[in-house]
Structure 1
Amino acid sequence: MTDLFTTPSMRLTQVDAGAIERELARLWSAATKTEQTGGVALMRACVFNLVVLTDAAHVAPVTNIIARLTALRPHRAIVAALDGDDDATAPQPRLEAWVQAHCTLAPPGRPQVCGEQITIMAPRAAGPYIPGIVLSLLEPDVPVVLWWTLDRLPDHALLANLQPVADRLILDTARMPGGVDTLHAVRSLIDAGVAVGDFVWGRLTPWREQIAQLFDAPPALRRLRSIERVTISHVPRGATAALLLVGWIAARLDWRPSKVHHTGAVLSRPDGGSVRIERVEVATETADDLVSAALETTDARFTVTRSATGSHLVACAIIDDLTPIERAVHLPTLDAATLIADELRLAHHDPIYEAALRQALDLAKQQPTPAPE
């Protein structure tokens, strides 16, 4: 983990774009004077704008994530934190703001790379003021990423004002109520032209990699097109992840919905064969989202299972008349900073995620199969 240093926040007495920019100038001027008097050299960097929509209770954890993200991708963060309840009868809303810098502690002889954070605290009634302030504070000529941390679906009025300049919208559908309804809402955003990144999808990356690698060997690859059953086990909060994983498998192998039984869905393969899909809900607290994934043919079984400790995944290929192959791989900790950095590898839309989402929604009518007692 890279060592980080965050400057004390500098609170503003006046909140407007001009006042915020002047405070930022003073912040960097003070840093430059420190450098000139023998301090460590600082390099101010910004490869993208990160606009964060959150609430007042989450400002501190969001700031910690922004600081960690600075070590991966230095940027300008604009945090708009809403406080209190909506109250249309409230007097003229009062805004508060402060600025601070996040710097990596570089080895001797190398400059500290720094990003900056602008935090604006506003009552919920002041929501309509937020887009104008944010737009005036964006660094030009670099991408704009909107990170929606609120537990409810993105407000379309707010998105309508920010969408023209936002290159990506990042959210976490696992945190939002509604399950399948939330996924439908995300698809509506995509259909409207919004490039969406979902933390649920990012956390599935190790699972997708291990499933794909199970079919690298020729004997396994020959059986890929003849899979007859897919079973995904998940904890209750992992229902969205399970749907997206099944959707990804179906989309990559060009399976099409055929019919739904009470025990699962049946999909049609391109060769005319059938694949039964089952999602099994498991009551356990030792797993995060997914427990296991199994793909089966008449003579083979391919599985990826989370270890009891949650520290690694175990991938196993069992093919008749062949020696079973098993490997354990470390399961990395994918915090929000890492997930956002991964999302930035894509400039706009993620066609693989969007195809998986469409397939997942086609399968959403299936109810999870109860776990055997």
Structure 2
Amino acid sequence: MSEAAIDINAIERELRQMWQEQATHPDAGGQAVIRALTLNLIVRAPDDGWAEQALAVAPALTAQHPNRTVIVIDRPGPATELQANAQALCTLANAGRTQVCGEQVTISARGAPAGQLASLVLPLLVPDLPVVLWAPGPQPFAQPLVQRLYRLCDRLIVDSTTFADPLRELAELAAFEQTANGAPAVSDLGWTRLTSWRELTAQFFDTRPFLPHLHRIDEIVIEYAAGNRPNPVAALLFVGWLASCLKWTPLEDAVGIEGETIQIYLRRPAVGVGPAAIRLVSVAIRPVDRAGVEGLARLALRAVDNQQAEFVVELTSDAGHACTRATIAGAHPIERTATIDRPALADLLNSELRLLSRDRTFAAALHLAGGLARRLALP
């Protein structure tokens, strides 16, 4: 279907016809096919590369969350060009089992105004089902189509690892999440990638002898893979998570960049001194050259208050694994090798699609990290 104005009714007729044919003529294996939709997923793809990724993960998303996916390839151009096609997406089922299918509509646009694209998307949404908008790529909040659609969505998914101006865009994301206040709920795939790092860090302090050191941390050093374009957002989100959980607060104006290293100071309650006493926590975030690594590469938490202790998580040369090491003064270091997940894009999205409401842990971490990013981005 290719014309200046896409016929939405024709797309719906095409989908109905596909289901009627499936009901009348099952596949060659004799498997029954059912249409099962649990949500609407809108994908705003800024170029063909992102569109290919969306098309590639769509079957895996349908397998866990049967849905109607509307992919909008939103390219700039001097003249308006629109194309659309529809298809069923079915998961492979074992012999004798029912095949569950979703639907996919792809709108390929060039030079189309955001209002026109939004008017095409809205009638394609299945009524009474949640609406999720996935907006990958840089500057998601600057995109006119995202600005028009997000108010109608239950969840907005972005990916901070793809930000072109990481500090500024992280600050924008934090401001958006706080203003939205869960309507829509906000997800960041960059945050989801931190799950293993947060779990390994928390596991140190599941051990009773180590727990007191958690409240005596004085120094944090985080190294992240520089790649082609340094992006410290994952490190800032990790700091935001730790600080928000432990009730640390940033020192006013104690944020800066020295060379390539981000330096931050936070205040924490002093242990065993008095309710008003505080100690400073210094945080250093710096890029390192690590071939084949994306995101965090190493983190170290150090306590020098009272008894010295250090807790380290570091990626090994064996892909998908990390070495964790706890060193307490006067005792032998305790080391182990742990699996650290590098989830595929489909796994990240499926994880976020399972969420039914605002992720308050993420919101608290993002609020603190966004405040730090805003100060760092100031000229």
- What TM-score results when the alignment is normalised by the length of structure 1? 0.87
The structure 2 residue matched to 1:239, chosen from 229, 232, 251, is 232
Asked if 1 retains the 8 angstrom alpha-carbon contact of 2:84 and 2:105, the reply is yes
1:143 Cα deviation from its structure 2 partner:
1.0
Q: Distance in 1 between matches of 2:201 and 2:28?
A: 56
- Structure 1 stretch 112-121 or stretch 284-293: which is displaced more? 284-293
Report the AA paired with residue 51 of structure 1: I
Of 352-361 and 245-254, the range deviating more from structure 2: 352-361
Q: Does 1:274 align with 2:283?
A: no
Are 1:265 and 2:257 counterparts?
Answer: no
Aligned mates of 1:280, 1:39 — CA distance in 2: 58
**Contact kept? 2:37, 2:67, Cα under 8 Å:** yes
Contact 1:12–1:19 (8 Å) recurs in 2: no
Q: Distance in 2 between matches of 1:349 and 1:289?
A: 24
CA distance in 2, matches of 1:290, 1:241: 7
**1:160/1:56 CA distance change after superposition, 3 Å:** closer
Evaluate the alpha carbon distance shift between residue 311 and residue 150 of structure 1 in structure 2; reply closer, same or farther with a 3 A threshold: closer
Alignment of 1:297-316 (within 5 A): 297-298=303-304, 299-316=308-325
Which structure 1 segments of 5+ residues have no match? 1-10, 368-373
Partner of 1:163: helix, strand, or coil? Answer: helix
| Residues 56 and 121, structure 1, Cα contact 8 Å, conserved in 2 | no
1:226 aligns with 2:216: yes
Q: Report the equivalent of 1:294.
A: 300
The structure 2 residue matched to 1:255, chosen from 225, 248, 251, is: 248
Counterpart contact for 1:12–1:23, Cα < 8 Å: no
Query: What does residue 74 of structure 2 align with?
Result: 82
Q: Secondary structure at the match of 2:146?
A: helix
After superposition, where does 1:321-332 map in structure 2 within 5 Å? 321-332=330-341
Residues 293 and 303 in structure 1, CA contact (< 8 A), matched pair in contact too: yes
After TM superposition, give the deviation of residue 12 of structure 1 in Å.
Answer: 6.8
Residue aligned with 2:322, SS: strand
Aligned position for 1:3: none
CA contact (8 A) 2:89 2:102 kept: yes
Q: How big is the shift at 1:327?
A: 2.5
- How many residue pairs are counted as aligned between the two chains? 352
TM-score normalised according to structure 2 size? 0.86
1:57-72 maps to which residues of 2 (within 5 A)? 57-58=48-49, 59-72=51-64
Q: Give the counterpart of 1:320 among 300, 324, 329.
A: 329
2:23 alignment partner, SS class: helix
Equivalent AA in structure 2 for residue 327 of structure 1: R
Q: Decide whether the 8 Å contact of 2:29 with 2:95 is kept in 1.
A: no
- SS of the residue corresponding to residue 222 of structure 1 reads helix
Identity %: 35
The one-letter amino acid of 2:85's match is: W
User: Is 1:39 aligned with 2:30?
Assistant: yes
Contact 1:231/1:293 (8 A) holds in 2: yes
Q: Does the CA contact (< 8 Å) of 2:15 and 2:88 recur in 1? A: no
Change (3 A) 1:337 1:257: same
Distance in 2 of aligned mates of 1:349 and 1:73 = 19
Corresponding letter in the other structure for 1:268: R
The CA deviation at 1:49 is: 0.8
Query: Which residue, out of 135, 153, 156, partners 1:148?
Result: 135
Distance (whole Å) between structure 1 residues aligned to residue 28 and residue 61 of structure 2: 29
Distance 1:36 1:346 in 2: 34
Range with greater deviation from structure 2 (30-39 or 96-105): 30-39
- Cross-structure match for 2:195: 205
Indicate whether 1:127 and 2:114 are aligned.
yes
